[in-house]
Structure 1
Amino acid sequence: MVLSCLASFLFAAAAWGKIIYAGVNESGGEFGVFGSPGQGLPGTFGVDFAFIDQSTVDVFVDQEQINFFRVTFLMERMCPLATGLGATFNETYFSEFEDAINYITETKGAYALLDPHNYMRYNDPSQQPNSGSIIGDTSDPNAATTAQFQAFWGELATRFVDNPMVVFGINNEPHDMATDLILQNNQAAIDGIRGAGAPQLILAPGNGFTGGHAWTQTTGNGDAPSSDFMNMLVDPLNNTAIDIHEYLDEDFSGSHAECTQPAASNLAALTTWLQQNNLKAMITEFGGGNNENCFQFVSDLLEYMASNDVYIGWAAWAAGPFWGTNTACCGADTGSLEPGQNNDLGQPDAFSTVWANAIRPNIPVADLKRSGVSSLS
């Protein structure tokens, strides 16, 4: 009996994970293009789009003691349509983005995940997530090629190769496309990044908006499960993790105020798959509405990750300088995670409600990685 109890204790201890990255999304670099094709491109910094508010980053690092920011941008702005996806950048846009990344990483000493917020599509972000040509789709003459995607990532990685606080996110939420094509594009991005000499952590998404609950399920238009292909990725440095999004409302969209989807049961198959394939994951988007129900569901999600050693980090959706009284997630009246703002009712936003009640108590301050090359170790 004693030996049995000891064995159970040791097993539980071995399964207890360590969250080493914890933070928030900074959404705004993708703003200003929704509407008609070409609208807001390239756009005006500070008018159509913005990446961060430095004072917000200060609050999150100095007061909340997080260490991770996922910073969104648009590939159509980074790589102008006139020259196409690849190694030719809009240097003005890149410089604005670089300033934000350098403030987070060099001034504040936190990690920054570079997030091309494109749904693995390029050339028309006007009706995201559905507009634009799927990268690598050889049946679409307007589509950027997988080789161009590799060239894009090689160039971007070259520019951050010496910044150990950068993490590379291959693309935001691929969906409704062949899962083996996502594998090809992911592999091309990894090859481009490693070919540039960059050793930092890479996060690779799957299909079905990279939803954790659907990782082992057929998604979209009958596309194969992500689990069928994403264990085939090859990284010579073994420093690639799986990028997961997981919202907790009825359809996993993050658009409803009530939470109904429990993390433990919905992520169980993904967790087993990660364990079987000796892989790690981060949940880089999640959120909940401003109500006690969601406070509990969000807290349960964060506790679930902390109790399973295949999860190395998380980032909540979303803060950002341009959200204003609009909601980033989870019901019309929740507001964003931008500190000091109000929701559409003139009440405190999600930073004062969802963050304060569900996220802040789960920030593992003592365990967070504070310096060095972003890695799985």
Structure 2
Amino acid sequence: MSAGRLLFRDAPLAALLLCAVSGAAQARPASGVNLASGEFNSKRKPGVYGKDYIYPDAKVAAPFLASGMKIVRVPILWERVQPVMGQPLAPDEMRRLDKALAGMSGFQTIVLDVHNYGKFNGQRLDQMPDGAASFAELWRQLAERYKGQGKIAFGLMNEPNGIPAPTWRKMADGAVAAIRDTGARNLILVPGTSWTGAHSWTKGGANSNAAAFAGFRDPGKNFAFELHQYLDSDNMGTKEQCVDGATAAARIRPATEWLRKNRYRGFLGEFGAASNADCLEALNALLRQVEQGSDVWMGWAYWAGGPWWKRYPMNIQPEGGQHKPQMAVLERFMAGGR
């Protein structure tokens, strides 16, 4: 499927994805941010809203909108929106979530991110007899609720891991089919297993994400693969020390080439760095590589902003009206940046 032949039925999404379908004068990949906190304290389920977790609001989003960002990724926890697998969505929780999403309306695209790592109540979906069917049913209900809102994109699952790639592919197929069966035309973001790492996407031979998702198709013809890439030594995003810029850029090249060869689009859904000089250099190199691949990379969302971060080194939520050092790097790769 050639990117040049994709049909976009929704004007906001069409505008956002011009970077993936334009010709000689390619636009920069669209810029964005994760506004975390809805997934906080995941061991307390459902937890107390406002104490254990909270959704971002328009005030939290405002500085990122003012900077020119177009995408926001909003993490949610499956067990909060649907406490019992296969049952209806929780009405009170969905009202809270709807209010939060309305507060993000200034963004062109709002990614609804099920932040569960391929699990429900700590158990992997492939180890549950009804895991795949329940996953599809969750997305059927979410799609029914949001199918009339073209700005909302469906992030199937944050960083599945432990699930074999061929098994995860079948689960993703089922969720995509359930979404499209509702008539929803929203953008779908499809992750791989193994934490959906860009650096490992093509590794593992027949068991790699690259092999498992070869030939993947969406009946709605409006999807991208969501990949993540961190900049520390083990690619996990837990350390304040980063690899050098050349290594950071090299980590994403094989996935970029796979997307290009297979005529797919990619979305860099998570990446982040501490504010020291080495990490800022690596961050710059990573985004430069994404920009050079703007024929396949539709956009990116930095991890993370949000209202409840404390001493998290990758946090870019402004404090006292002051931007964090990482924002100076991010702004270089936004529309109108240098």
| TM-score scaled by length of structure 2 | 0.87
Q: Which residue of 2 aligns with 1:245?
A: 228
- In structure 1, C-alpha distance between the alignment counterparts of 2:120 and 2:160, rounded to whole Å: 12
Q: Deviations over 1:222-263 (max 9, x none)?
A: x81100111232211221111000001111011111221623
- Structure 1, unmatched stretches of 5+, are 1-12, 35-39, 124-131, 328-333, 343-347, 367-377
Question: Is the 1:68–1:112 contact (alpha carbons within 8 Å) kept by the matching residues of 2?
Answer: yes
Secondary structure class of the residue paired with 1:188: helix
Aligned AA (2:123): S
Asked if 1:337 is matched to 2:309, the reply is no
- In structure 2, C-alpha distance between the alignment counterparts of 1:311 and 1:16, rounded to whole Å: 15
Aligned AA (1:89): L
Q: CA deviation at 1:49?
A: 0.6
- In structure 1, C-alpha distance between the alignment counterparts of 2:262 and 2:279, rounded to whole Å: 32
Q: Which residue of 2 aligns with 1:119?
A: 117
Q: Which residue of 1 aligns with 2:63?
A: 59
Q: CA deviation at 1:143?
A: 5.3
From the superposition, tell whether residues 109 and 175 of structure 1 become closer, same or farther in structure 2 (CA, over 3 Å).
closer
Q: Which residue of 2 aligns with 1:19?
A: 28
Q: Deviations over 1:238-292 (max 9, x none)?
A: 2111100000111101111122162332222111111111101010100111111
- In structure 2, C-alpha distance between the alignment counterparts of 1:43 and 1:300, rounded to whole Å: 39
Q: Which residue of 2 aligns with 1:91?
A: 91
- In structure 2, C-alpha distance between the alignment counterparts of 1:182 and 1:148, rounded to whole Å: 14
Q: CA deviation at 1:341?
A: 6.2
Question: Is the 2:28–2:333 contact (alpha carbons within 8 Å) kept by the matching residues of 1?
Answer: no
Q: Which residue of 1 aligns with 2:331?
A: 360
- In structure 1, C-alpha distance between the alignment counterparts of 2:216 and 2:98, rounded to whole Å: 28
- In structure 1, C-alpha distance between the alignment counterparts of 2:123 and 2:51, rounded to whole Å: 27
Question: Is the 2:272–2:314 contact (alpha carbons within 8 Å) kept by the matching residues of 1?
Answer: no
Asked if 1:49 is matched to 2:28, the reply is no
Question: Is the 1:17–1:305 contact (alpha carbons within 8 Å) kept by the matching residues of 2?
Answer: no
Aligned AA (2:32): G
Q: CA deviation at 1:100?
A: 1.0
Question: Is the 1:18–1:306 contact (alpha carbons within 8 Å) kept by the matching residues of 2?
Answer: no
Q: Which residue of 2 aligns with 1:77?
A: 80
- Structure 2, unmatched stretches of 5+, are 1-21
Aligned AA (1:117): H
Give the % identical residues: 29
Q: Which residue of 2 aligns with 1:296?
A: 281
Secondary structure class of the residue paired with 2:299: strand
Kindly tell me the number of residue pairs found equivalent between the two proteins. Answer: 313
Q: How does 1:190-269 map to 2 (within 5 A)?
A: 190-218=176-204, 224-260=207-243, 262-269=247-254
- In structure 2, C-alpha distance between the alignment counterparts of 1:111 and 1:79, rounded to whole Å: 24
Compare CA radii of gyration and give the structure with the larger one: 1
Aligned AA (1:228): A
Question: Is the 1:134–1:143 contact (alpha carbons within 8 Å) kept by the matching residues of 2?
Answer: no
Aligned AA (1:193): I
Asked if 1:149 is matched to 2:135, the reply is yes
Secondary structure class of the residue paired with 2:183: coil
Q: Deviations over 1:307-331 (max 9, x none)?
A: 11110100000111111x230xxxx
Asked if 1:322 is matched to 2:326, the reply is no
Secondary structure class of the residue paired with 2:220: coil
Q: Which residue of 2 aligns with 1:134?
A: 124
- In structure 1, C-alpha distance between the alignment counterparts of 2:259 and 2:266, rounded to whole Å: 8
Question: Is the 2:40–2:52 contact (alpha carbons within 8 Å) kept by the matching residues of 1?
Answer: yes
Secondary structure class of the residue paired with 1:267: helix
Supply the RMSD in Å over aligned alpha carbons.
2.2
Asked if 1:181 is matched to 2:167, the reply is yes
| TM-score scaled by length of structure 1 | 0.78
- In structure 2, C-alpha distance between the alignment counterparts of 1:109 and 1:320, rounded to whole Å: 15
Q: Deviations over 1:84-129 (max 9, x none)?
A: 3235111111111111112112xx2432100000011112xxxxxx
